[in-house]
Amino acid sequence: MNFDIKEIATAGMILFAVIDILGSIPIIISLRNKVGHIQSEKASLVAACLMVAFLFVGERILSLIGIDVNSFAVAGAFIIFFLAIEMILGITLYRDDVPETASIVPIAFPLIAGAGTLTSILALRAEYHVENIIVAIIINIIFVYLVLKSSSRIERILGKNGLNVIRKVFGVILMAIAVKLFAANINQLFEHGV
């Protein structure tokens, strides 16, 4: 076992920024208003299972279609970079339809364990030990669960401006991480002659 606090903290921060559960509070609140209740426990568990499964199976899926982890990590770095631009500038580069129900599927998959999160997990896999990524996933899922349970209270405490500030700060952190991931993996691709 290669547990490393620094790796756990870095992976945790990356996932926290990509999941952006605080920035999703307005979406969560509007879903709660539409359907009345969000199953926080089920949504969190399904999202955690998706992330851990993708951590282990994602690389095999890539090898089936002939893509190595470093190439995927570079692609992931671009996605993380554009997510950071969205967070910092407050714009939407990709717009998905708002789900009609607040079941496990819209909360767990598109919102928590979406394309950006799954891409980030594989990008992290190229840089960090698996056990550290799993701990980071668990920490984030616990935080996601707490936010889902108390989203209306958090919105009242932070206010709209507070949520915007947090989102922009994590956007800048995310952009720096994207640049680091890109640089590390592009070097490995050139070293392997790809």
State CA 67 to chain mean position distance.
21
Which one, of 86, 85, 77, lies nearest residue 119 by Cα? 77
Which of 22-31, 47-56, 85-94, 116-125 has the highest mean predicted lDDT (pLDDT)? Answer: 47-56
Which of 15-24, 36-45, 115-124, 135-144 has the highest mean predicted lDDT (pLDDT)? Answer: 135-144
State CA 96 to chain mean position distance.
16
pLDDT tens-digit map of 37-47: 788 999 999 99
Mean pLDDT, to the nearest integer, of 162-177?
A: 83
CA atoms of 74 and 140, how far apart (whole Å): 23
Q: Worst-scoring range by mean pLDDT, 11-25, 54-68, 93-107, 177-191?
A: 93-107
pLDDT band for 71, please (50, 70, 90 cuts).
confident
CA atoms of 111 and 116, how far apart (whole Å): 10
